[in-house]
Amino acid sequence: MKKKMLALALAASMATVSLTGCGGSSTTTTEATTNEATDTEKETETSETADTATATDAADEEVPENEVIGNTNAEDAFYVYCWNADVMNNVITYFNETYPEDADRIVYVNTGGTDFYQTKIDALLDDPTNPQYPDMIAMEMDYIMKYTDSDYTLPVSELGITEADMKNMYQYTIDAATVNGQVKGLSWQACPGAMMYRRSLAEKYLGTSEPDKVQEFFKDWDTMLATGKKIVADSNGATKLFSGVDDVKRVYQAARETAWYDSNSKLTVEDTMLDYMDYAKALQDAGLTNGTTQWTDEWAANVQNDNTFAYMGCTWFLHWTLKANCGGTKAGEGTYGDWAMCAGPQPYYWGGTWLGATKDCSDKNLAGKIMKAATCDTEVMKNICKGSLDYVNNKEAIASLSEEGVGKFDFLGGQDFLSYFSPLAEEIELPAMCGEDFYITTAFGDQVTSYVNGDKDKETAVKDFKSYVVDLYPYLSAE
């Protein structure tokens, strides 16, 4: 296990340089998205673009100092680590309000971005004697198994958390952190996805803007493609279905049935991901996108433009990407209020953050208290949602909040995002994952880009993908 963790750590530090060889190019994240977003996944996606920066950029990049909040001199200091302010804003703040007697003990460490997070905490996890050793860490979906499938995290049962405590959680969020029957992390949020479209454009080109009727135009992949062609034809090319072909990638990724490699460490590319290559190519060849790359300025700018009909997004994406880039703060400004959601071709999820207590956690009781409050306590979770509009991982809280009208969102023209996401969250089936998911999936995406742009044929792109991953992770093999 130590060898594998070392390989993963090396991959994390090498990725910025190495992925350039997979055909990536340097891109930037919009200022609006960066400044507005507090969610983990937005920052993780930012790292996908950072991972493809040039070697020169990587060498010049300065590792940020940690931002530390709390009394580091306290004898009973309890260290919580995250890559941004997300856990502070959505967990610790509400825990401190509920249990002020423990507030002074908590030291929050923001490592200054997801690009550096794993490298920083991996070094600390190997050094339990370090006075700043993490007692609790945040874990993102794309690499959660790196930490749960290791000796570095504790089962939540050792923290006093029972199955009964988790009764209101969406099952996929529990499955994501379960290894060998043991739950080793809990999340306060669920992240079901949907198709987010412009109401005015739907009315103009489809004759309706109501979600249940619009859904019929996007009920499966073939129907979506046909509808996209209709929109482009009826608008004389002025409006495209999506901003870029990679807007559908997370839907396909969530539909995977197997991990990237099997029990014999053999790398495989399942049909789902090959289908994604074909669909992305079909979108490109039919001219159904504006040719942008996700998280670039051009991609985000299209949230305000009539040239883009829809984006595929999830709970956090709705608030911290679409709303942040719509060009307004109330109905009538930019595209604010001109959006709605339908389910799209299949259920999917996108991201999420889990909390995990470390092997040498200094206070298991406090760790359990924090996790139970933030992920199991219905009232605390209702407060989290009311404060941040985060879709919380608690069915009882969501039902209660919907009854109170909290989910009715003027950005969506009054559509209740809580009640709409609720059944979608129930339908999520988690694919098999591995600790290397983030880096392998990013490498695959680079090859999809090369194929879609005509730089490589499909066979060569898949072959180059396998070759790159095996070079990055020598313990893997491929045909």
The per-residue pLDDT for range 387-396, each reduced to its tens digit, is: 999 999 999 9
Tokens of 72: 């580091």
Answer yes or no: is 437 within a domain: yes
- Rounded to an integer, what distance in angstroms lies between the CA atom of residue 402 and that of residue 420? 10
- Among 49-63, 104-118, 158-172, 183-197, the range scoring the smallest mean pLDDT is 49-63
Same domain? 301 vs 235: yes
Average pLDDT value for residue range 24-47: 36
The confidence score (pLDDT) of residue 39 equals: 41
Same domain? 309 vs 209: yes
Answer yes or no: is 358 within a domain: yes
Same domain? 326 vs 221: yes
Greatest Cα-to-Cα distance within the chain, rounded to the nearest angstrom: 68
Q: pLDDT per residue over 329-344, tens digit each?
A: 999 999 999 999 999 9
Answer yes or no: is 49 within a domain: no
Same domain? 311 vs 455: yes
C-alpha of 240 from chain center: 25
- Rounded to an integer, what distance in angstroms lies between the CA atom of residue 21 and that of residue 464? 10
For 416-428, what is the HEC assignment?
A: EHHHHHHHHHHCC
- Among 23-32, 196-205, 211-220, the range scoring the smallest mean pLDDT is 23-32
Q: At what angle do helices 271-285 and 221-234 cross, to 10 degrees?
A: 10
The confidence score (pLDDT) of residue 60 equals: 52
CA angle in degrees (0–180, nearest 5) for 67-70-74:
130
What size, in residues, is the chain?
479
Same domain? 197 vs 184: no
Average pLDDT value for residue range 2-25: 39
Q: Please report where in the chains the tokens 């396909």 appear, as a residue.
A: 252
Same domain? 186 vs 198: no
Average pLDDT, whole number, for the chain? 89
Average pLDDT value for residue range 31-51: 38
Burial (0-12, 13-18, 19+ Cβ within 10 Å), 467: middle
- Rounded to an integer, what distance in angstroms lies between the CA atom of residue 140 and that of residue 391? 16
pLDDT tops 70 at residue 45? no
Give the number of C-alpha atoms closer than 13 A to the C-alpha of residue 140, restricted to the C-beta side: 25
Same domain? 104 vs 245: no
Answer yes or no: is 136 within a domain: yes
The SS3 call for residue 15 is helix
pTM: 0.87
DSSP element (H, E) containing 67: strand 67-69
Q: pLDDT per residue over 88-99, tens digit each?
A: 999 999 999 999
Answer yes or no: is 206 within a domain: yes
What is the residue-wise DSSP string for 16-73?
A: HHHGGGGT-------HHHHHH---HHHHHHHHHHHTTS-HHHHHHPPPPPPEEES-TT
Average pLDDT value for residue range 116-130: 95
- Rounded to an integer, what distance in angstroms lies between the CA atom of residue 477 and that of residue 126? 28
Burial (0-12, 13-18, 19+ Cβ within 10 Å), 35: exposed
pLDDT band at residue 8 under the 50/70/90 scheme? low
- Rounded to an integer, what distance in angstroms lies between the CA atom of residue 360 and that of residue 278? 47
Average pLDDT value for residue range 221-233: 98
> CA dist 162 to 201, 228, 454, Å?
48, 47, 53
- Are 439 and 11 within 8 A, CB to CB? yes
Average pLDDT value for residue range 356-367: 98
Range of the domain at 130: 67-190+351-406
Average pLDDT value for residue range 266-278: 97
> CA dist 201 to 207, 308, 314, 345, Å?
9, 9, 21, 19
Answer yes or no: is 54 within a domain: no
User: What order of strands is seen across the sheet that includes strand 310-314?
Assistant: 310-314, 193-198, 339-342
The SS3 call for residue 184 is coil
The confidence score (pLDDT) of residue 40 equals: 40
Answer yes or no: is 10 within a domain: no
DSSP element (H, E) containing 299: helix 297-301
Q: With pLDDT > 70 as the criterion, what percentage of the chain qualifies?
A: 87
Same domain? 334 vs 458: yes
Q: pLDDT per residue over 136-175, tens digit each?
A: 999 999 999 999 999 999 999 999 999 999 999 999 999 9
Residue 408 pairs in a beta bridge with 416
Q: pLDDT per residue over 401-440, tens digit each?
A: 999 999 999 999 999 999 999 999 999 998 888 889 889 9
How many domains would you assign to the chain?
2
For 79, which DSSP code? E
pLDDT band at residue 61 under the 50/70/90 scheme? low
Same domain? 73 vs 146: yes
pLDDT tops 50 at residue 210? yes
Same domain? 361 vs 245: no
Tokens of 346: 């299949």
- Rounded to an integer, what distance in angstroms lies between the CA atom of residue 172 and that of residue 186? 11
Same domain? 175 vs 95: yes
> CA dist 129 to 184, 195, 362, 367, Å?
22, 48, 11, 19
- Among 13-27, 105-119, 176-190, the range scoring the smallest mean pLDDT is 13-27
Question: In this structure, how many other beta carbons lie within 10 angstroms of the beta carbon of residue 394?
Answer: 28
Answer yes or no: is 4 within a domain: no
Same domain? 275 vs 374: no
- Are 239 and 449 within 8 A, CB to CB? no
- Are 87 and 95 within 8 A, CB to CB? no
- Show which of 368, 389, 406 is a domain's final residue: 406
More confident residue, 442 or 38: 442
The confidence score (pLDDT) of residue 479 equals: 81
Q: Please report where in the chains the tokens 């990725």 appear, as a residue.
A: 15
pLDDT band at residue 27 under the 50/70/90 scheme? very low
Q: What is the CATH number of the domain that holds 449?
A: 3.40.190.10
